[in-house]
């Protein structure tokens, strides 16, 4: 299974019309995945066995929304992994939830490439921020990166004051999975008075695509928001599974723990949930198993 992900901030004149058209056209291609459209741009992750169809889908999004030269990143999953259950094309206020849309006049951080990024990692005067959620970081990270300490990206802005208090308004270099979160985070930091803000162009996925293995400073795997859970240094499906209760990436060793119950708990969250919550997770797993036995998909709701 092939996967393509991309985003772009630009002014979309008529998000509703573009979404309606793409819902029909992408549906004809029998793709699965999610495409978000807002007045501030587009954000997507789509999957299909046929790589050429995915390339066609990227072109359809470009022509239907007015985007130009979407920088698509391709990766793979195991053949038996559908990656997504179905196709969702939705109109949102934002393509990444932060609390306010990004405009073309908003200042952003300086995009840096692989070689520059490695230099920033080695610079003792640079604060390297990992702005991903804490549960993502457990699967892998860069050398010397400082976690912001959030469970949801929307919390980032509330952490800025503390970051500045602890580290000062120093030179900052930040990264996320694909780059989209850094766009809004860098704007928020600049608005708070930070003068030198850099962001890894293309995020971790772009870095792994471009860096030579001998020069890579990435350790572990990269968490992704689909059924693969993580990808390795070759952008192929990684080795992690996911706890359905807390969304953390879990290893085979984690599953050997007495605190691991499939779909109910893992060693990281066992003491964080009540017996009532565990019972709810168990019931959800039961309904999923019944749906699968009927040849259907039971899609529950897990908000984080």
- 10-residue block means of pLDDT along the chain (304 residues)? 95 95 95 96 96 96 91 93 93 94 92 94 94 93 93 92 83 95 95 92 96 95 94 95 88 93 91 91 81 54 29
* C-alpha to C-alpha distance for 31 and 86, rounded to whole angstroms: 8
| Distance separating alpha carbons of residues 261 and 263, to the nearest angstrom | 6
Q: Where are the beta strands (DSSP E) in 125-203?
A: 126-130, 140-142, 146-147, 171-175, 197-200
Q: What is the pLDDT of residue 255?
A: 93
- 176 catalytic residue (yes or no): yes
Give the C-alpha distances (Å, rounded to integers) separating 182 from 34, 157, 172, 190.
20, 12, 11, 12
Question: What is the model's pLDDT at position 75?
Answer: 96
> Is residue 16 classed as helix, strand or coil in its secondary structure?
helix
Confidence at residue 295, expressed as pLDDT on a 0 to 100 scale:
55
For residue 290, the model assigns a pLDDT of 74
Angle between helices 180-191 and 156-167 (to 10 degrees): 60
The active-site residue, picked from 176, 182, 243, 269, is 176
- pLDDT reported for residue 292: 63
């Amino acid at each position: 299974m092939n996967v393509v992900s991309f985003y772009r901030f630009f002014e979309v004149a008529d998000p509703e019309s573009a979404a309606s058209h793409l819902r029909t056209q992408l549906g004809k291609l029998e793709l699965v995945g999610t495409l978000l459209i807002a007045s501030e741009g587009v954000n997507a992750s789509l999957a299909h066995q046929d790589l050429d169809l995915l390339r066609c889908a990227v072109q359809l999004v470009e022509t239907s929304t007015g985007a130009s030269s979407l920088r698509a990143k391709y990766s793979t999953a195991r053949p038996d992994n559908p990656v997504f259950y179905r196709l969702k094309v939705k109109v949102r206020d934002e393509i990444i939830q932060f609390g306010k849309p990004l405009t073309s006049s908003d200042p952003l951080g300086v995009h840096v490439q692989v070689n520059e990024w490695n230099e920033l990692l080695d610079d003792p005067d640079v604060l390297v921020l990992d702005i991903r959620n804490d549960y993502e970081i457990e699967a892998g990270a860069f050398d010397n990166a400082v976690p912001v300490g959030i469970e949801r990206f929307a919390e980032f802005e509330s952490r800025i004051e503390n970051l500045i208090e602890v580290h000062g308004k120093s030179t900052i270099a930040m990264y996320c999975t694909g780059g989209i979160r850094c766009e809004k985070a860098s704007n928020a930091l600049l608005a708070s008075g930070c003068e030198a803000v850099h962001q890894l162009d293309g995020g971790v996925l772009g870095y792994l695509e471009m860096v030579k293995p001998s020069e890579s400073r990435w350790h572990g795997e990269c968490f992704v928001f689909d059924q693969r859970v993580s990808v390795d240094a070759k952008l192929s499906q990684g080795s992690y599974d996911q706890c359905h209760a807390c969304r953390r990436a879990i290893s085979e060793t984690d599953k050997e723990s007495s605190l691991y119950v499939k779909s109910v708990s893992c060693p990281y969250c066992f003491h964080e949930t009540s017996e009532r919550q565990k019972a709810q997770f168990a019931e959800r797993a039961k309904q999923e198993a019944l749906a699968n036995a009927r040849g259907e998909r039971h899609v529950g709701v897990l908000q984080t």
